[in-house]
Structure 1
Amino acid sequence: MTESTRELVIVGVGSAPFDALLEILEERKTVTPGQLKLVIDDEAEVDPQVFANRSVAVTAIKDFTFAPEQVVLLLTAGETATAALAKAEEAGAWIVDAAGITRGDESVALIHPLLNSAELNQRDESDRKVIAVPGAGAAMLAEALFPLKSQLQSVEVVLNQPVSALGKSSVDAAAAQTARLFNGQDPDVDEATGQRLAFNHLSSAEALLESGHNFSELALVLELRRLLGEDVALDASINTASVFHGQLANISVQLKEQLALETVRGLLTNGARLEVRERPSAQDAVGSESTLLGRLRSGLINPRQVVFCAASDNLRKDVAINCVQIVHLLLKTH
C-alpha cells in the first residue's frame, strides 16, 4: 500500500484546534485533499471545508465507512468520537486520540512526537492501534522538563490556561461576553463553567474533587508521570486566564542534587523545540513553534530548587503540530 492511498479521517470539525490543524496539514503537505475525510455527528449540519484550495465534504458518521488504510484523528470527545473510536478500531484503522477519550487506559500508548515517538516502532501486532497524544498543557510541560528528566525529584506546576483550552464554545462565549461588557451590558454567564470568562481569572474552570483538585489537574499529573517517569513527584494547579489563546506555566522543580544555574540554563537551551528568553509571555508564544522558557532563577526554599516559566501556543503547537507529526509517522511508516 502506497502512502498516497492512505486516508486521514478527522472527527471534530469546528473544534478549537481544527483550523490550526488544517493549516499545518496544508503547510506540510501531509495529505492531499483527496486523502482527507471529515466526519461529524449524525445530527450536525456543517458546510464543506476548504483545504489546499479544494472543497472537502463533511460526512455524517452513520454514512461513513472506516477502513484499515485510514488514520483516524479524534479532536473532540463525546458520543460521536467514542463511536468513531470503536468503529475505526474494529475496522483495523490507526486511531490518534487528541481528546482524552482513552486517558488513563494503559493499553493505549501516550506519544509525544519529540520525546518518545520511537515507542511506535516497538509495538507488536498484539498491541492496540490506538495512540493518545498528551493534552496541550502536558505536552508543553513535558518538553520544558524533559532536559532535566534525570535530575528531577519533584515538580510543582501552576498552569494558566487560556479560554480555548475549554473548547470552541467557551471561546465564543468569552467573545460574546467581551462585546457585551464593552457596550455597557451585563454578560451572560458561561454555561460550561458557571462563571464569567471575559475579564476574569478562574481558580478552577471545573468542579472540585474530594481531594480539592479538579479532574484536569489529575489528568495533567497522570500524563506527565507517563512521559517523565513514575519516580518524579508531581503536583499541579490549573487556572483559566481571560485570554483566548496561549498558555503559560510557572514551574518549581526540586533537583536530586544542586546544580549551578548556568548548568540548568544550558540543559534547557539545548532541549528540543525550546527557546530561552528573559521574560516570555503567552502572546509571544502564539504563532511560534517553540516552547518559550524564561525567568530562570534559584528558589528561596532550598538550594536544589529551580524556578522558571514556560509559554506556548496551546492550539497550534501543542495540539495541531504534535498531531500532524504523529499522523505523518503513521501514514509514512505504519
Structure 2
Amino acid sequence: MTESNRELVVFGVGSAPFDALLEILEERNTVTPAQLKLVVADEAEADPQVFANRSIPVVPLSEFAFTADQVVLLLSGGEAAVAAMTKAEDAGAWVVDAAGISRGDESVALIHPLLNAAELQSVERKVVAVPGAGAAMVAEALFPLKSQLKSVEVVLIQPVSALGKASVDAAAAQTARLFNGQEPEVDEATGQRLAFNHLSSAEALLESGHSVSELALVLELRRLLGESVALDATINTASVFHGQLANLSVQLEGPAALETVRGLLTNGARLEMRERPSAQDAVGSENTLIGRLRSGLLGPAWVNFCAASDNLRKDVAINCVQIVHLLLKTH
C-alpha cells in the first residue's frame, strides 16, 4: 500500500497535547483528512474534530478496526489505551506510545527523532516509545556533551499541563476563583492547590523519596544518553499552564573550558542559546532554549546551565509527528 493510502490513528482526543498535535500534522501536511482516524475509550464522549477544514469523526475503541497499514499514536494512558495498543500490535500496525504505557519494557525502543531515529531500522517489535516531554528536552540539551558526561543532576520545573488536561482545567478554575475573592477547591489528583503555587512534588512519594515521574525521567535519560552516566532528578510543578524549564548541574569526565562547552551546545540540533531563557520565551518555539551557562563551584569539571522548551508542541507533538512521518514514509 502506498504512503498516501496509509492511515494515522490517534488515540487520546482531548488529551493535553492533542490540539498541538493536530496543528503540527496540518502545518506539515503529514496526513490528509482521509488518512486521519480518531479513536477514544468506549466510555468517553468526544465531538468530531476539525482538521484541515474537514470534520473528522471520533470512533469508540470497540467499533474501530485496526489493520497492518496503520500507524497508531497513543497520546493518553489507562486501560483503554493498553487495550488499543494490544489490538493494534496484534493487527500488525505500528504503535507509537507517547503516554508511557510501555515504560520499562526493554523490548520497546525509546526513540527521540533527533537523537536516535536510526534505531527504527532494527527494532524488535513494531512498538516504539516517545520520551516524556522532560526527558526529551533534557536529552537534547545534554546530547552535544554525551561523550564527556560523568554525572548529571536535573531539577525539572514542569507546568500543570504536564499533569494532563484535567489539571489545566483545574488550575484555570482555581485561578478564576482566586481572582474573584473565593477560596479554590484543592485539586483531587495532586491533593494540592495548583493555581499560584509551586509544588515540591505533584505525586505521592515512593519509599526512596522519589516520585515515579522522577525515576521515569532518569530511566529515559539513561536509555538516551548511556548507562555510564550517573543521574539524579527532581521534578517540581509550577503554576503555569505551558512551558518547562530544567536546571542542569553537569560533571564532565575532566576539566573543560567554558567556551568549548558553549561551542558544543551552540552547534547542538534544535538548540538556541539565550542569555536568560524562560519557559514563556520557549512556548511556541520549535527549539530548546539554552542559557545561564557557567562554571560550577564544585570543581573544574562541573558546568551549570538551564534549558527551556514548549512541553506540548515541541517535546510531544513535533517529536511524535516526526516519528509518524518516518513510519508512514519508510516503514
TM class, shorter-length: over 0.9
Q: Which amino acid aligns with 1:258?
A: P
Give the Cα separation in 2 of the matches to 1:230 and 1:318: 23
Structural mapping, 1:243-254, within 5 Å: 243-254=240-251
1:69-104 per-residue CA deviation (whole Å, 9 max, x = no partner) reads 000000000111111001000000000000000000
Q: SS of the residue aligned with 1:141? A: helix
Q: SS of the residue aligned with 2:210? A: coil
Give the Cα separation in 2 of the matches to 1:225 and 1:55: 42
Aligned twin of 1:298: 295
Give the Cα separation in 2 of the matches to 1:152 and 1:225: 11
1:189-230 per-residue CA deviation (whole Å, 9 max, x = no partner) reads 101001000000000000000110000000000000000000
1:268 positional shift: 0.1
Q: SS of the residue aligned with 1:10? A: strand
Aligned twin of 1:148: 145
1:63 positional shift: 0.3
1:276-316 per-residue CA deviation (whole Å, 9 max, x = no partner) reads 11000000000000000000000111111000000000000
1:41 positional shift: 1.1
How does the TM-score come out when normalised to structure 1? 0.99
Aligned twin of 2:39: 39
Structural mapping, 1:189-208, within 5 Å: 189-208=186-205
Pairing partner for 1:165 from 150, 162, 165: 162
Aligned twin of 1:19: 19
Aligned twin of 1:333: 330
1:49 and 2:85 aligned: no
Give the Cα separation in 1 of the matches to 2:290 and 2:45: 42
Give the Cα separation in 1 of the matches to 2:301 and 2:236: 27
1:179 positional shift: 0.1
Give the Cα separation in 2 of the matches to 1:70 and 1:301: 51
Give the Cα separation in 2 of the matches to 1:278 and 1:107: 41
Name the Cα RMSD after superposition: 0.5
Q: SS of the residue aligned with 2:245? A: strand
Q: Which amino acid aligns with 2:108?
A: V
1:44 positional shift: 1.8
Aligned twin of 1:91: 91
Q: Which amino acid aligns with 1:129?
A: K
1:178 and 2:163 aligned: no
Extract unaligned runs of 5+ from structure 2: none
Q: SS of the residue aligned with 2:247? A: strand
1:30-89 per-residue CA deviation (whole Å, 9 max, x = no partner) reads 000000000011122211000000000000001000000000000000111111001000
Aligned twin of 1:29: 29
Give the Cα separation in 2 of the matches to 1:271 and 1:45: 43
1:214-272 per-residue CA deviation (whole Å, 9 max, x = no partner) reads 00000000000000000000000000001000000000000001110000000000000
Q: Which amino acid aligns with 1:84?
A: A
Q: Which amino acid aligns with 2:81?
A: A
Deviating 4+ runs (over 3 angstroms)? none
Aligned twin of 2:71: 71
Give the Cα separation in 2 of the matches to 1:296 and 1:195: 33
Number of equivalent positions:
331
Q: SS of the residue aligned with 1:207? A: coil
Pairing partner for 2:317 from 314, 317, 320: 320
Give the Cα separation in 2 of the matches to 1:56 and 1:258: 56
Give the Cα separation in 2 of the matches to 1:325 and 1:316: 12
Pairing partner for 1:266 from 263, 280, 284: 263
1:128 positional shift: 1.1
Q: SS of the residue aligned with 1:222? A: helix
Q: Which amino acid aligns with 1:186?
A: E
Give the Cα separation in 2 of the matches to 1:295 and 1:46: 44
Give the Cα separation in 1 of the matches to 2:122 and 2:14: 34
Calculate percent identity across the aligned residue pairs.
83
Q: Which amino acid aligns with 2:326?
A: L
1:122 positional shift: 2.5
Give the Cα separation in 1 of the matches to 2:24 and 2:83: 26
Q: Which amino acid aligns with 1:106?
A: E
1:153 positional shift: 0.2
How does the TM-score come out when normalised to structure 2? 1.00
